[in-house]
Amino acid sequence: LKERYDGIINSNFSLIDKIYWLIEECKRYGTLPFAGVARAAFVAMQLLNSLVEIDFITKEEKDDFLNSLNTVSKNLSKQTNHLNFHNKDQFLKDFGHLRAGTYNILSPRYDEDFELYFDVDQKDSKVYLQDKAFVFSEEKTKALNALLREHGLEINVCEFFDFLKQAIEGRELVKFEFTRLLSKAIVYIEELGKYYGIEKEDLAHLDIKSILNLYSSLYSINPKEQFVEEINRNKKEYELTQAIKLPSLLCNADEIFSFYNHSIIPNFITQKSITAFTAKENDKDLEGKIVLIYAADPGYDYLFTKNIAGLITCYGGANSHMAIRASELGMPAVIGVGEENFEKYLKAKKINIECESEQIFCL
């Protein structure tokens, strides 16, 4: 994937061709393998959680295992700990393509607005991660071997944990690599917008298919006119969708007109309790606060360098990136609270998170 990325950006292709092939290669060699690896990671987390449910291991032991993994995010945190003006260029070469909101053209990349995400002069922003091997006692190893055989899994304990490790680490790695292509394509789309005199805020309303069509089609009118016409139409549709409230899952057509809100069960990370003032992702002062973000994607890893107290996300599940990151760091977090609850928490100045009893209180 990296070779194909380098081949495209160093080629003499036109801007349109580069956008087309970055996205095409991203689909073929990035998101397609990711679908398989992500499924394996979901299975791995389900197996790990099932060991907790049957009281074979504790939640603390589960967190210890996750802490022992060598993920992309852990590597990012380690490099952030030693970030300075001398190694800044190498850091951005490795991680500069990340952005808060992987698919959002309005969100700058790390290498486009470094100061927004990181402060190399901040001395107390280190995220301390210990490289500690996860080890089972001989007694538990024998018991788990028997448990695996009992459930028809023809593997031993070492092979079992090796699968968990490879699946969870692999999910992060593949996503990290394919977002490099996607992020660069977004940069080129922004350049295309400048060429046609279209603002980035307007490009956010343009369907990617309209840009990709330029690769193989001839427009009877100027592409800019085509883009502007579609942008204006999509803006009106966006305003309409903002005025419509739908359930998270549509089960039948009648629910478009009326529906009952289903209760959402968020995912509480760690067994800790925390009480702190709240902050939104764009706030300047995040230290010691519970930060609320909508998505749970890798671009928000910079938050862990800001000495935050906790995290709440609107979307995301138990196996999402931020859930795993919070487990690694032992940080209290609530992942996937749902839109209705999230809006309520956004209005709260102070929040108490009780992870062990799985409760959130607005103070």
Grouping H, G, I as helix, E, B as strand and the rest as coil, residue 108 is coil
Mention every residue, 6+ apart, whose C-beta is less than 8 A from residue 157: 136, 141, 144, 145, 148
Mention every residue, 6+ apart, whose C-beta is less than 8 A from residue 356: 268, 271, 272, 273
Q: Kindly report the number of other CB atoms within 10 A of residue 33's CB atom.
A: 15
CA distances from 70 to 48, 65, 344 (A): 17, 11, 36
- Which tokens is 136 given? 């089972």
The answer to whether residues 331 and 313 touch, using CB atoms and an 8 Å cutoff, is no
CA distances from 282 to 117, 286, 347, 363 (A): 10, 9, 15, 22
Is 97 a known active-site residue?
no
Per this entry, what is the length of the chain?
A: 363
Q: Which residue has the tokens 């053209």?
A: 105
Dihedral of the CA atoms 25, 29, 35, 37 (nearest 10)?
-150
Residue from 82, 151, 262, 321 carrying the catalytic annotation? 321
**Range list of β-strands (E), 194-304:** 267-269, 273-280, 290-293
For 88-127, where are the alpha helices, taking DSSP H only?
A: 88-95, 114-117
The residues assigned a catalytic role are 321
